Amino acid sequence: MKKICTVIGSRANYSSIKSAMRAIQAHPDLELQLVCVASALLDRYGQVVNLIERDGFKVDEKLHILVEGETPATMVKSTGMGLIELSSVFDRLEPDVVITVGDRFETMATTLAAAYMNIPVAHTMGGEVSGTIDESIRHAVTKFAHIHFPASRDAAERILKLGELPEMVFRVGCPRIDLVADILKEDENGRDKDIFALGVGSSIDLTKPFAIVSQHPVTTEYGEGERQITATLKAVRKCNLPAVVLWPNADAGSEDIARGIRKWREHGSAEEMHFFKNLPIDTYVRLMRRAACLIGNSSSGIREGAFIGTPVVNIGSRQTARERGDNVIDAAHEEGAIADAIMQQKAHGRYQMQDIYGDGTAGVKIADVLAGLGAVEVQKLITY
């Protein structure tokens, strides 16, 4: 039985690997190991660990590695804490493969710990381009990883250009799209009627046009978060769209965005807005299907948005150059530019589905590849 260990550090991590976890758990030749770290354990980020356990997954280890402050310095320290703690966890669990997701600081800690311990690393969603420090982390992880699961054609080509072995690059799509595809098949009648009992703020009539705001800090623009989220919220209000507003992730600068949201509410500007720390992926996808527009800088607008056909206003540099569909309009961090883009998307309406990031079968493909691989050579050699 091959032991596959995954490390979950955030709600985005979990939704981006959940379908692969299910497939690994169900595979007769694989054993799933699960470690929860960082914001996945904290109440102010929605305690995603509780959702993970309710979904039927056994959590093998819980590590508190997030250093308070959400500054560039504390982000470095959190990475260091993760590196120290995960090495002990991997010693205890003895995984055959460690699978890691995307481009966050806990991804870097996971990858370094496993690579130094001669444990093969499998990496999902490598090869993509974007803004912030995530770009550097993602490509660095590619150079440490042994098995690659890119989500799109362009991403797979970049991994090969980085000198990785072609026979270890498996274009499977994004596992998050698997969940989206399953949710879109469901009958949503009667669902989400009590959603506004959670979070804080006004109830919103979901049968009428509304927006979703999902905006995270841009680590390379540290200190600008409060101004940026305020410009976004002003633009939404200017367009007279009720809005579901999501809390930011735990990256450096998240407190700036959180402060901007709190001030917005305290100054009485949050009429027809409802604020959530966290939303289950099925609720989030159903809201995306209904929303007149998704606004912010989350990769979900690029990934799920293309598959669902959600109109998206992508703000600023966080998703710079990431492969995208026709559903995305880019806007600068300025109230007027954001408002103009929102009105353009509101007038356009739904877009046709595009399967840039997969067709909904990534999780099973990942499990099958991991089960079918023989011994993985941990000594890497750059190859052209």
Same-fold call for 2-174+358-372 versus 185-348: yes
User: pLDDT digits over 316-337, tens only?
Assistant: 999 888 889 999 999 999 999 9
- For the chain, give the mean pLDDT: 93
Q: Across the strands, what pairs with 98?
A: 5, 121
Q: What pLDDT, on the 0 to 100 scale, is given for residue 190?
A: 64
CATH topology of domain 185-348: Rossmann fold (3.40.50)
pTM for the predicted model, two decimal places: 0.82
For the chain, domain boundaries: 2-174+358-372, 185-348
- Answer yes or no: are the C-beta atoms of 34 and 59 closer than 8 Å: yes
Strand order in the sheet with 2-8: 61-63, 30-37, 2-8, 97-101, 121-124, 147-149
Which of left, alpha, beta for 192 (phi over 0: left; psi -120 to 50: alpha)? left
* pLDDT tens string 323-374: 899 999 999 999 999 999 999 999 999 999 998 998 899 999 999 999 999 9
Query: What is the fold of 2-174+358-372?
Result: Rossmann fold (3.40.50)
| Residues 176-225: tens digit of each pLDDT | 999 999 999 887 766 777 888 888 998 999 999 999 999 999 988 999 99
Write out the two tokens for 284.
């989030």
Q: Is 205 within 8 Å of 242 (Cβ atoms)?
A: yes
Task: Give pLDDT tens digits along the chain (384 positions).
Answer: 999 999 999 888 898 899 999 999 999 999 999 999 998 998 888 789 999 999 999 999 999 999 988 788 998 999 999 999 999 999 999 999 999 998 888 999 999 999 999 999 999 999 998 877 888 999 999 999 999 999 999 999 999 999 999 999 999 999 999 999 999 988 776 677 788 888 899 899 999 999 999 999 998 899 999 999 999 999 999 999 999 999 998 788 999 999 999 999 999 888 999 999 888 888 999 999 999 999 999 989 998 999 999 999 999 999 888 889 999 999 999 999 999 999 999 999 999 999 899 889 999 999 999 999 999 999 998 988
Return the pLDDT at 170: 98
